[in-house]
Amino acid sequence: MSAPVAIITGAARGIGRATAVELAKRGYRVALASRSTDDLHETARLAGGESIVVPVDITNPVEVDRLVAQALGAFGRIDLLVNNAGYAPLLTIDKLTVDEWRRAIDTNLSSAFYTTKAVWPTFARQKSGVIVNVSSLSSRDPFMGFSAYGAAKAGLNLFGLAIAREGEPIGVRVHTLALGAVETAMFRTIATEQQWPRERTLDPADVARVIASCATGELRYTSGEVIYLHKTV
């Protein structure tokens, strides 16, 4: 029961999957959250160790509360929350619908509020906890067509700073990673390898190691800050 526990959203593939594998290697028990049940089970298989799979719509606060309750029921504690769920519509303002705008804001920003609020009582009781928000360089320098995604991630950056200040008195740290291009299926819906070669993208495993460093305290002095991480060639 003393082994640390992490909740990872967007755990079905990409950064979330790599994070689950990395944390499991470091002795974490993991609660894996996403809409895709089959992919979550594959993540659990690759991670090994002790895990639970929780299919969930991260934009629904009722389902988020269920996710946290299941993690607590299975493991008895929560030490780390990784807000990794993302949705990135590439649409200029003339094509961006109200529904797409709301989905981008809900997935990238509102979901982090729901998860943070849900785990906060546990963190307060434990007098400890870590939150890692996965943001994007688009929060300060978006591609054309990333108005909704960039705005949501910029909001996530500020949310992380505000919550870090609230969390300091109870031993809670909050880290936000603003990532450049990462070699994921989501990124490849945006840019082909001809447009953005693989040598210019981050490996999800590299991102996972930075997330783990935030969790274990190696980067503890960056709580509240936005850590910009991108590949230069």
Q: What CATH number does the domain containing 18 carry?
A: 3.40.50.720
Q: What is the pLDDT along the chain (233 residues), one digit of tens a residue?
A: 689 999 999 999 999 999 999 999 999 999 999 998 999 999 999 999 899 999 999 999 999 999 999 999 999 999 999 999 999 999 999 999 999 999 999 999 999 999 999 999 999 999 999 999 999 999 999 888 999 999 999 999 999 999 999 999 999 999 999 998 877 778 777 877 777 787 888 899 999 999 999 999 999 999 999 999 887 76
Tell me how far apart the alpha carbons of residues 15 and 124 are, in angstroms, rounded to a whole number: 28
Residue 222, phi-psi category: left (phi > 0), alpha (psi -120 to 50), beta (remainder): alpha
Task: List, by residue number, the catalytic residues.
Answer: 149
SS3 state of residue 193: coil
User: Can you tell me the distance from the alpha carbon of 212 to that of 225, in angstroms, rounded to the nearest whole number?
Assistant: 16
In 127-220, DSSP assigns E strands to 129-136, 172-179
What is the rounded CA–CA span in Å between residue 185 and residue 103? 19
Of 77, 100, 80, the residue nearest 90 (C-alpha): 100
Contact between residue 172 and residue 129 where contact means Cβ atoms under 8 Å apart: yes
pTM to 2 decimal places: 0.94
| Boundaries of domain holding 193 | 5-229
CA dihedral 125, 173, 154, 81 (to 10 degrees): -60
Which one-letter DSSP state was computed for residue 30?
Answer: E
Residue 85: name the closest of 68, 64, 71 by CA.
64
What ranges make up the beta strands (E) of the chain? 5-9, 29-34, 51-55, 80-83, 129-136, 172-179, 226-229
DSSP, collapsed to helix, strand or coil, labels residue 33 as strand
Nearest partner of 31 among 68, 64, 65, judged by Cα: 68
Count of domains for the chain: 1
The 3-state DSSP class for residue 88 equals coil
